[in-house]
Structure 1
Amino acid sequence: MRIFTGMYDSVLRWSAHRRAPWILGVLSFSESSFFPIPPDVMLAPMSVARPEKAWALASLTTITSVLGGVLGYFIGVLGLEIVLPLIEEAGYLPAYELAQDWFITWGFWVVLVAGFSPIPYKVFTIAAGAMAVALLPFIIASLLGRGARFFLVAGLLAWGGPRLEPLLRPYMERIGWVTVILLIAAVAYFSL
């Protein structure tokens, strides 16, 4: 079953579209507050296809992600009662409760690490608002964490550029399935 190679080829084609940066920005904004797909799935191939624009794309992704994180923060401040059942239904409740515990213990550093890691960032943005974490430190930690992640992705793939693409393509199925398995394992871990 070859699913991921076709998706990879499609994303590479989309990355060359003139509206691709807009789509990347919307995806990045949405992922930080409510959408499940991380912007890396567009940022990475766009950086391979357009290495000369990698830094601009990483900046766009960082800024829109932080703005989406601020939306998630205000969802936590104003509408936690509404979104908590959705968090539970999506299977993120254990991660949300863990995020709350981590905020109590580590504060600023939790946002910084969550911004960089593959942990669902939206859970931390909503938890930060619900726990009334100071907004300015939240924004600074988000800029540092998200920026480090997206500039690393864009920089590595721009550095490899077009010569990296033929090396990645044969392994797309394996990379895709390993990612799915890791995601399932993470969800199972946080659900238990």
Structure 2
Amino acid sequence: MLQNILDWLHDMGPLGMFIHSFADAIIFPVPAFVLQVSLSILDPSSALWLATIGYIACILGTPFGYLIGKLAGDKILNKILKKSWIDSATHMFQKNGEMAILIGSFTPIPFKVFTILSGFLHFPLWRLIAYAAIGRAVKFYVVGVLFYLYGRAAEGMAKDVSLYVGLCAIPLIAAFIYYKRKKSKKAEADRSNG
């Protein structure tokens, strides 16, 4: 049944990309990356357009996933997702919610885990959207640029994109969050002393 849905979305082209990406942020079990790659293989010249469609749809779907998490997160998460994904995402959130969202944007863990978990754990919605906007832009546009520049030859590169982007992005994200925390602590100390 899932394959039939994927085939139907594929046949719809860019509209299917929009629907898949929107649903990926909410409840659909297959990441939008799968459809983005298969559609980009068919027409590499439209890869950046497909990245834009997927990105916008994902950001629009994010508040709906959040709302599901806020209203029925525990029940939903345990029914639709692997326990290992939930445990991994929960652990990341408990350590640092921002970093979990940014890293989650690049990992094979479906993005809906992070939208639903954000609502369930009462992470601020505006922060979820802000960090999702950064992370998902990188994920969608790296794939789009690869196909736009290299055509069908990018298929092999796209399969490893999460790994490469993660290896480059995670240290940068960690440095940014460290800097942000240090600046926040300094400002707090200045207020206490002033």
- 2:136 paired residue among 146, 149, 157: 146
Quick one: distance in 1 between partners of 2:35 and 2:63?
22
Two-structure CA RMSD over aligned residues (Å): 2.6
Of 37, 57, 60 in structure 2, the residue corresponding to residue 67 of structure 1 is 60
User: Which ranges of structure 1 fall in alignment gaps of 5 or more residues?
Assistant: 1-6, 169-174, 176-192
User: Once the 2 structures are TM-superposed, how far is the Cα of residue 73 of structure 1 from its aligned partner?
Assistant: 0.9
2:39 counterpart of 1:46 = yes
Structure 2 portions without partners, runs of 5+: 160-194
Tell me the number of residue pairs that the alignment of Structure 1 and Structure 2 aligns.
Answer: 152
Pick one of 126, 133, 149 that aligns with 1:136.
Answer: 126
- Superposition pairs of residues 103-114 of structure 1, within 5 angstroms: 103-114=93-104
**Per the alignment, in what secondary structure is the counterpart of residue 146 of structure 2?**
helix
1:71 is matched by which residue type in structure 2?
A: F
Q: How big is the shift at 1:39? A: 1.5
Structure 1 93/58 Cα, relative in aligned 2: closer, same or farther at 3 Å? same
Three-state SS of the structure 1 residue aligned to 2:116 is helix
Instruction: Look up the SS of the partner of 2:128 in the other structure.
Output: helix
1: CA distance between counterparts of 2:84 and 2:17? Answer: 29
The equivalent of 2:146 in structure 1 is 156
Change (3 A) 1:93 1:156: same
Letter in 2 for 1:35: F
Structure 1 residues 51 and 67: CA distance shift in structure 2, 3 A: same
Question: C-alpha deviations, 1:113-169, integer Å up to 9, x for none?
Answer: 10122122111111111111111111011111111011111111221215x28x86x
TM-score when scaled to structure 2? 0.68
Higher RCO, 1 vs 2 (CA within 8 Å, ≥6 residues apart): 1
Q: Which moved more, 1:131-140 or 1:30-39?
A: 30-39
Compare CA radii of gyration and give the structure with the larger one. Answer: 2
1:81 positional shift: 4.5
* Alpha-carbon contact 1:75-1:129 (below 8 Å) kept: yes
Q: Is the 8 A contact 1:26 1:64 kept in 2?
A: yes
> For residues 91 and 71 of structure 2, what CA distance do their matches in structure 1 show?
20
The one-letter code matched in structure 2 to 1:80 is G
